[in-house]
Amino acid sequence: MNEGRKEIIQITFVLVGVIFLIKLFFIQVVDDRYAQLADSNAILREVDYPVRGLIKDRNGKLIVYNTPEFDLLIIHKEVKGFDSTRFCEVFAMTPADLRLKFNELKAKREYSPVKPTIFLTQLSTLDFAKIQDNIDEFQGFYIQARTTRAYREHAAANAIGYVSEISKDRLSRDKTGIYKQGDYIGQSGIEAYYEEYLRGQRGVRFKYRNVDGVEKGSFRNGAIDTLSIPGQDIISTIDLDLQSYGEYLLKGKSGSIIAIEPSTGEVLAMISGPSYDPTLLTGRHYSSNFVLISNDTNKPLFNRPLMAQYRPGSIFKIAQAMVALQEGVITEQTRIRCDRSIIDCHGPHSNEDLRGAITHSCNPYFHGVLRRMLNQGVSTNTFDDTRAGLAEWSKHISSFGFGARLGIDLPNEKGGLVPDPAYYDRAYGGRPWKFSNIYSIAIGEGENLVVPLQMANFAATIANKGFYITPHLVKAIGATGKPLPQFLEKHYTTIDSSYFRVAADAMEKVVEEGTGQYRAKLKDVIVCGKTGSVQNEPRPDHSVFIAFAPKNNPKIAVSVYVEFSGQGARAAASIASLMIEKYLYGATKRPQIEAYVLRGEFLN
Amino acid sequence: MMSREEVISDKMDWVTVALYIAIVFLGLLNIYAVTYDRESDISIFNLTINSGRQLLFIAGAFVIIMAILIIDMRFYETFAYIIYGLVLFLLLLVPIIGKEVGGNKAWLGIGSFGVQPSEFAKFATALAVGKYIGSVGFRMDRIRNQAILFVLIGAPMVLILLQKDTGTALVFTAFTVVFFREGMSPFLIIAGIIGAIIFVLTLMVNQYYLYTAVGMILVISILMGRKKLKRIALLTLGAIAICGIIISVDYVVSDVLKPHQQNRIKALINPDADPLGFGWNVTQSKIAIGSGGLLGKGFLQGTQTKFNFVPEQSTDFIFCTIGEEHGWVGSLVTMALFVGLLLRIIFLAERQKNRFAHVYGYSVACIFFFHFAVNIGMTIGLFPVIGIPLPFFSYGGSGLWGFTILLFILLKLDVHRMQVLQRI
């Protein structure tokens, strides 16, 4: 009657076991999705943030360092049994503040109830001890320690740059995979250029956590954990005292000061005016301050030494002179009449030789020099002749580092402009052009454009008698003690060094007896300089001055631009000589000049 | 004459005993693995953790085994109804004087010590069913006898349902397989299975597709066979009945079942619908088991079962620990042990000479099978989450003792199977 029923039951039992094993084989062996899910469940990946490298000045003084900073994170879903009264007590806030914070939290774009979100930023270090003792009372709240940048002197903001959270755009362009959302990155200046050395390498710790997110010891006893490697310290070429002094002098003015050590190309000071206090771009109020600074009509984030392009003005006459000597179209003894019917001039002089022309900044002289330079008679066609001359001229001028980016170790450098035949072809739309069309480049006006850094580099090149080392702001990276290799290389100009002696002699005379004698002359040291006044009709001229000192074995080369301040002999020459004096002697002994600069009334 | 001990040890089925010890031991190790905390490193014997207490329960189980073996084998058949009546009485007491543990009022407290009478109802019912089927004049083809059988399993079911312990109540449906073995028509089981399939289909597929399908099958079967009126009427009636089930499922799911029961069924159909809500148990259980791979993470190396990701880890979801720490190989061993035990119990049941012992043996096999199939099925997402333990594996005294009593009464009966013949 019940035949086969025993077997049916037996088969059913075995069958169920086999079905289970097949199903288990699929979820355990075939499908590895579950293993990943298990890891994300139970393994906490904790990033060990490296300490960012310090930045010191050339004398070992700290410019930028790190201070600890604590954020309070919240995982909203984990918040249980929240005691708001107690929370307000521990975190020293009012119930209204707390309510506001919760509203802000939910309004945040990155807010998610299951992920850690920043609730309070930058808890003060003083309260931190108290908070740390009580944090366990508040389930779902965590403290995150970070370091933030801090500044000893509130100086060199544009040269140093700042650090802030990486932008979405930048993150999407990052192919290294180093950065994650919320990471900090150097945004400008040295912080940006040397980011890869400063940032160090992050470490990762893997930890077990239970379903409540409570940590339960290290994963595999830390076998695959990595320690963070601190960023490398950087020694800047900046002399912090000189930098601060320069900022003091430039306060309230627009312009720039750059000081370079000629023999090494090291930038001793780089001042952009107006500037900002670098501490504004760290910490809690970064966003609101950044908006204020970037909307400031004075453009404090605009790094004038590298980014402002001006016409070079009379300073260019030194370059013109050297190019003409090199080309053999004049000698030191060549005299050209100061014919003010061709081009306006200033001062009492009439028929100078080269030195005299430089000393008195004679415009008609250099008009004549450029005519000889461009029209050398290589062709009977005056247009072709000018074209050939200009090509030659452009090559020489470019060899001083004009017309292209020098390659300083800062972002956003501009290159300026040295016109060449191709440029004028474009400018004139194919119509012919000749010397009479373009002669204003003779006196540094017209189409020429330079940035202040190039002018300082030019002064350094004259000081070096014919070569320059690309200006740079970092003299040693980490333990290597060396700058980047490109900052050890000498760049020679196409001009013989003997002609640089002529230029230096002339610049000595400028300070000794020429346009610069009143304010640029120093008692115990020979300063070589050249004034310039860049026209800005109808507004006042830019006041420009370049200089180097001492004449023999120069230690410092300077370029100063002060916008809308009239003659170069006034604002710029005063500031340049004060910078030289400060650097060479550690202090200035000419209070009347300093007071003149600080008063800032250069036009009267 | 030989002493009783010698008789027992000679005739004892040591294969079953070995399987029993192996499963209990593995259960203990896995309960320890669940409670093990790599930071505090508590010993397996520590009485403050589950594994230590389970060890006490195991010791208690050995006392029970001794008692079962010492008591005269005739006692179980003779007192079957009295034991059954006593357990029913205890079940009646539970809603009145019982204490509530974890939302279910299923415990009877004796001081600080609590037992679940429902765990003992299983062996008591098995004894009563065995005695009734084995009684003189019992005929399976008689409706009256069948009705009494269903009353025997229905009474404890209802009382346990009153305690809101649906899982344990459902265990008693396993007796229908015993009835089937003893000659009852398979119609009931087949109907039950078809009903369950329709139930699940209704939840997964749009109702109107089902109606269409039923209608098409009806038309095809009418056209295929002989066109007798009686046959057509029967087929139509069947189709209407199926449609009735489909309609009632919707009513049952949304109106009769409690929200947590609805969610368990929804979780089975689509666990990803709400992985952090009602799908949590099944999702986490599958993650734990699935992350074990072929060889597992190693003893005490599990992460999901250790850090409370899986709920009820040491009781209903104990299999997750095996799956995670010992991988598919561990699953294979566990399946082999359980299927081996089940087949061995059938073997024992089949060699019994009297019907009481034969029915009792099958009852044990079917109860164990139901627990095994539903428990493991729910951890891997093949069954809805029904909170019943894995026999001998899951943590808990009442469960372990209930299963031990079930198994060892069978072994005691088996030892004396020849004696029974002599008696008759």
| pLDDT value, residue A255 | 92
Whole-number Å distance between alpha carbons of A330 and A466? 19
| pLDDT value, residue A289 | 82
SS3 sequence, A402-471?
CCCCCCCCCCCCCCCECCCHHHHHHHCCCCCCCHHHHHHHHHCCCCCEECHHHHHHHHHHHHCCCEEECC
Q: What's the Cα-to-Cα distance from A490 to each of A265, A460, A469, A486, B272, rounded to whole Å?
A: 9, 12, 5, 9, 68
The minimal CB distance from B294 to the residues A29, A34, A210 is found for A29
pLDDT band at B126 (very low <50, low <70, confident <90, very high): very high
Separation in Å, CA of B44 to nearest CA in chain A: 19
Whole-number Å distance between alpha carbons of B363 and B346? 10
Kindly give the interhelix angle for B259-269 and B187-204, rounded to the nearest 10 degrees: 80
A223-227, A294-298, A532-536: which is most confident: A532-536
Taking alpha carbons only, the member of A540, A593, A504 closest to residue A254 is A540
Mind listing the pLDDT tens digit for each residue in B272-321?
655 555 567 777 888 888 888 888 888 877 777 676 677 777 788 899 98
Judge: A10–B343 Cβ closer than 8 Å, yes or no: yes
Separation in Å, CA of A279 to nearest CA in chain B: 44
Across all residues in chain B, what is the average pLDDT? 83
Length of chain B, please? 424
The minimal CB distance from B335 to the residues A21, A39, A212 is found for A21
DSSP category for residue B389: P
* B313 at A interface, C-beta within 8 A: no
Assess whether pLDDT exceeds 80 at residue A598. yes
Residue written as token pair 């192996």: B22
The torsion of the CA quartet A22, A23, A26, A32, rounded to 10 degrees, works out to: -150
Assess whether pLDDT exceeds 90 at residue B366. yes
SS3 sequence, A506-531?
HHHHHHHCCCCCCCCCCCCCCCEEEE
The minimal CB distance from A34 to the residues B182, B290, B336 is found for B290
Give contacts of B 289-308 with A, CB under 8 A: 289-294, 303-304, 306-308
Give contacts of B 351-380 with A, CB under 8 A: 362, 365, 369, 372-373, 376-377, 380
Q: In this structure, are residues B310 and B317 in contact, taking their beta carbons and an 8 Å threshold?
A: yes
Q: Which 3 state secondary structure label does DSSP give B144? A: helix
* B346 at A interface, C-beta within 8 A: yes
Mind listing the pLDDT tens digit for each residue in B59-96?
999 999 999 999 988 899 999 999 999 999 988 888 77
Give contacts of B 13-72 with A, CB under 8 A: 37-39
Residue type, B336: A
Measured in degrees and rounded to the nearest 5, phi and psi for residue A438 equal -125, 15
| pLDDT value, residue B330 | 93
Length of chain A, please? 604
Provide mean pLDDT across the span A299-310: 89
Give contacts of A 192-231 with B, CB under 8 A: 208-212, 216-217
Judge: A37–B369 Cβ closer than 8 Å, yes or no: no
Give contacts of B 92-151 with A, CB under 8 A: none
Taking alpha carbons only, the member of A371, A364, A361 closest to residue A510 is A361
| pLDDT value, residue B1 | 40
pLDDT band at B2 (very low <50, low <70, confident <90, very high): very low
The more confidently predicted of residues A465 and A513 is: A465
Question: β-strands A234-236, A55-56: how paired?
Answer: parallel
Judge: B331–A28 Cβ closer than 8 Å, yes or no: yes
| pLDDT value, residue A578 | 94
Judge: A35–B350 Cβ closer than 8 Å, yes or no: no
Hey, how many other C-beta atoms are within 10 angstroms of the C-beta on B74? 12
Q: Which 3 state secondary structure label does DSSP give A209? A: strand
DSSP category for residue B252: I
The minimal CB distance from A2 to the residues B181, B286, B304 is found for B181
Whole-number Å distance between alpha carbons of A146 and A162? 16
The more confidently predicted of residues A129 and A412 is: A412
Closest chain A residue to B369 measured between Cα atoms? Answer: A13
Which of A324-333, A594-603, B396-405 is predicted least confidently? A594-603
Residues of A with Cβ-Cβ distance to B346 under 8 angstroms: 6, 9-10, 13
The minimal CB distance from A28 to the residues B293, B309, B350 is found for B293
Strand partners, A557: A260, A548
Mutation for testing the B interface, residue in A7, A25, A28 having most B CBs under 10 Å: A28
Q: In this structure, are residues A416 and A310 in contact, taking their beta carbons and an 8 Å threshold?
A: no
Query: CB-based contacts of B138: which residues, under 8 Å, 6+ apart?
Result: B132, B145
Ramachandran bin of B29, using left for φ above 0, alpha for ψ from -120 to 50, beta for the remaining angles: alpha
ipTM: 0.87
| pLDDT value, residue A218 | 72
Assess whether pLDDT exceeds 70 at residue B106. no
E strand segments, A28-81: 43-48, 55-56, 62-74
Whole-number Å distance between alpha carbons of B185 and A210? 52
Kindly give the interhelix angle for B207-224 and B229-251, rounded to the nearest 10 degrees: 170
Q: In this structure, what token pair is assigned to residue A61?
A: 């003084």
Provide mean pLDDT across the span A87-111: 80
Q: In this structure, are residues A435 and A400 in contact, taking their beta carbons and an 8 Å threshold?
A: no
Mind listing the pLDDT tens digit for each residue in A198-225?
988 887 777 776 666 666 667 667 767 7
Judge: A38–B304 Cβ closer than 8 Å, yes or no: yes
Judge: A27–B286 Cβ closer than 8 Å, yes or no: yes
Judge: B309–A39 Cβ closer than 8 Å, yes or no: no
Closest chain B residue to A16 measured between Cα atoms? Answer: B373
The minimal CB distance from A42 to the residues B290, B307, B332 is found for B307
CA atoms within 13 A on the CB side of A584: 23
Q: In this structure, are residues A197 and A206 in contact, taking their beta carbons and an 8 Å threshold?
A: no
Judge: B39–A216 Cβ closer than 8 Å, yes or no: yes
Q: Which helix (H) or strand (E) holds A117?
A: strand A117-123
Residues of A with Cβ-Cβ distance to B291 under 8 angstroms: 34-35, 37-39
Taking alpha carbons only, the member of A592, A563, A593 closest to residue A578 is A593
With a pLDDT cut of 90, the percent of chain A lying above it is 36
DSSP category for residue A85: H
Mind listing the pLDDT tens digit for each residue in A451-499?
999 999 999 999 999 999 999 999 999 877 889 999 999 999 999 999 9
Whole-number Å distance between alpha carbons of B207 and B254? 14
Interface A-B: count of C-beta contacts within 8 A: 120
Across all residues in chain A, what is the average pLDDT? 86
The minimal CB distance from B346 to the residues A10, A19, A217 is found for A10
The more confidently predicted of residues B181 and B203 is: B181
Closest chain A residue to B349 measured between Cα atoms? Answer: A6
* A115 at B interface, C-beta within 8 A: no
